Structure 1
Amino acid sequence: MPTTPGGSLSTATDINLLSSNSLFTDRVDRLQKQDFYRFSLSSSSSFNLHLDELSADADVQLVKDGNGNGIIDSGEVIKESRLGGTSAETIALPNLDFGTYYIQVYAYGGAETNYKLTVSATSNESIPISTSGGSSRWEKGTLRADIFTYQRNSQITFISGNGNVDFGSGKRDVLNLKDAGVFRNQVTFDWATASGGGVVANPGNKSRLFDEIRLNGGDGRRILFEGIEKIEFAGGVTYDLTQQVPDNNITPVVVPNDEAFNQQWNLHITGVHNAWRFTTGSADKVLIGIEDSGLGTDSNGNIHPDLRRTFFNGNNYLDESSSYSHGTLVQSTIAARGNNQQGIAGINWSSDSYMVDVLGGDNGDYDLASATQSIIDKAVSLGRRLVINFSLVGGSSKELQNIIASNQDVLFVFAAGNDNKDSISSPGSFAQSYSNVISVGSSWGLTDWYRNAKNPGDRAYYENWWGSNYASQADINAGLRPLTLMAPTEFIAGNAERNTSGTYNFNYDNKFNGTSASTPMVSGIASLVWSANPNLSASEIKAILAETAYDLGEQGYDQYYGYGFVNADAAVRTALALARG
Structure 2
Amino acid sequence: MSEIRISTTRGGLALRKSKQLVGLKGRPATSPPEVGQRLLPDVGGFEVVSLPVARDVEEALDEVRQRPEVEVGTHVYFADHDNRPVVPTGIIYCTLAPGVGEEESQRVFDLFHLEVLERRPAERTVVLSATARSRNPLYVARQLEKLAMVSSAVPDLDVPLDQYFTEPRDGLFSQQWSLSNPGHVPGVPGYPTRRGADARVQAAWKRLGSLGSPEVTVAIIDNGFDLQHPDLSAKSIVAPLTISSGASTLPTGIAHGTHATPCASVAVAAANGTGIVGAAPRARLMPLHGLTYSAYLTERMFDHCIRNGADVISCSWGTVDPRFRPGTFHERAVRRAVTEGRGGKGCIVIFAAGNEGKHYLNYYCELPGVIAVGASTSNDTHPAYSNRGSGLSVVAPSDGGWPLLAARASWDPGHEHLPPGKRYYVDGRDRGPHHKHFGGTSGATPLVAGVCALLLSAHPGLTAAEVKSILERTADKIGDPGEYDVRGYSNRFGYGRVNADRAVAEALRLAGRPAPATPASLARTAFRVRAEDPPRSGFGLQVSAFRQAASALELATRLEQQFELPVVVAEAGGMHKVILGTFADAPSARKLLPRARELGYQPFVRDLSTLS
TM-score, length-normalised on structure 2? Answer: 0.43
| Structure with the largest fraction of strand | 1
* Structure label with greater radius of gyration: 1
| Structure with the largest fraction of helix | 2
TM-score, length-normalised on structure 1? Answer: 0.45
